[in-house]
Amino acid sequence: MFDLIVLGGGPGGYLAAERAGEAGLATLLIEKNKLGGVCLNEGCIPSKTLLNSAKIYDHAANGAKYGVTSSDAKIDQSAVVARKNKVVKNLVAGIRGQLKSKKVTVKEGFGTIVGRSPEGVITVAVGEEKFEGKQLLIATGSEAVVPPIPGVREGMQDGSVVTNREILDLETIPESMVVVGGGVIGLEMANYFSTVGTRVTVVEMLDHIAGAADRELSSVLQKSFEKKGIVFHLGCQVTAVENGKVSFKDKAGNVAQADSQVTLMSVGRRPVSQGFGLENIPVLIERGRIITDAQGRTNVPGVYAVGDVNGVWMLAHAAYREAEVAINTILGKKDVMRYQAMPSVIYTNPEMAFVGETEETCKEKGIEYKKVTLPMNYSGRYMAENEAGDGLIKLLIDPVHQRLLGCHMIGSYASEIILSAGILVETEMRIDHMKELIFPHPTVGEIIREAIFHS
């Protein structure tokens, strides 16, 4: 009998198991594939490892404008993939070590929920073995959506069509690539392969890239990519993938094609909520996602769901915090999940990061706002490190209460700086108090201070 059974060893699952084990709960973690889940093995960490190699290569190949020249810079794709695998292996080993130190039992295999007794005991089977738990935390994650486009399934069989999983293991650089979907994953991989020499085309159904990101900054990112040779077809729908070409049509019905030695399907992800016995409890599911409250509780007493499977924010750091809230609730500690200051990052070059409300969401919600937009060149360090950089920061401010509603930035170190803005949103600090904060100089992060003083 376990105090807690955790189904899924991704960010939400393994952190929940760690926190539960640390608190003294007898905890079982069941993972069907590899500890770390999609984020560590097929997403966040592998893609950032590749993107870092691309950045180093770009600096080596294009350093003349900074007074640094090198001859014959090359990218060794097999070496890049090998290093990625080493990084992932080391991090997975670290997670396994952490779980062991917290006395968490790890069971490898496919877990299936058998049922829940009248006393509330939940039974989960892994093969022929059955385990019982007083509480269950579901963290089964998400999977890539593969639309029923003619030629896609056949392409996945011969390797000419890939998802976020397979693209990270390509050991040769394709001459041409079509990225279907202009969201975070698609843009990051478009960035990488364009930098290392692939002719990249992005086909996106919406009239803009980067999903829910600020439209003005998304446009800046698109123009930056276009300067690097990436071609965008917005408002277009892919109709077929065959014979090394991707066919697509625009809203007017005009049809076009693009060469594609490899096609990346990156049209979104969906929660994994089927196939492991949820119906045997039964847990409430709407449009594929498990419905939870602000503590991660489902409609079934003693059953929690965190991470991508609840479909609220499909981000690893959201899963981390959701896991902590759920475990604190199990332990009887008051906690609540808040999403108003959830940061998001697109790890392209340049990086784009944002937190809080956008202009679009303010208009949708009827929120009054004041906008402040500044070039990143107001930061001395940004200018020192970026030749002809076109970065921006945008603050959205509540003019009545004088608080920060949202922050959006595109430029170097944006991923590291955005936390500062997130804290300002989360704490609802007043603008006059923000002006008293001391930022280290020279840093790119000072751009927040500059923008505040321009408000």
The answer to whether residues 111 and 279 touch, using CB atoms and an 8 Å cutoff, is no
Q: Collect all residues with Cβ–Cβ distance below 8 Å to 168 and sequence separation of at least 6.
A: 42, 46, 47, 50, 81, 84
The answer to whether residues 53 and 77 touch, using CB atoms and an 8 Å cutoff, is no
Q: Collect all residues with Cβ–Cβ distance below 8 Å to 40 and sequence separation of at least 6.
A: 10, 11, 34, 46, 88, 91, 92, 95
Q: Coil, strand or helix: which one is 60?
A: helix
Which neighbouring-strand residues pair with 179? 202, 264
β-pairing, 111-116 vs 122-126, is antiparallel
Residue with tokens 């399934």: 153
Strand order in the sheet with 231-234: 161-162, 262-265, 176-180, 199-204, 231-234
Catalytic residue from among 208, 401, 408, 441: 441
Rounded to an integer, what distance in angstroms lies between the CA atom of residue 325 and that of residue 335?
6
Rounded to an integer, what distance in angstroms lies between the CA atom of residue 104 and that of residue 122?
18
Q: Coil, strand or helix: which one is 443?
A: coil
Between helices 77-101 and 11-22, what is the axis angle to 10°? 30
Rounded to an integer, what distance in angstroms lies between the CA atom of residue 284 and that of residue 292?
9
Rounded to an integer, what distance in angstroms lies between the CA atom of residue 415 and that of residue 418?
6
441 noted as active-site residue? yes
Cα–chain center distance at 440: 29
Which residues belong to the active site? 441
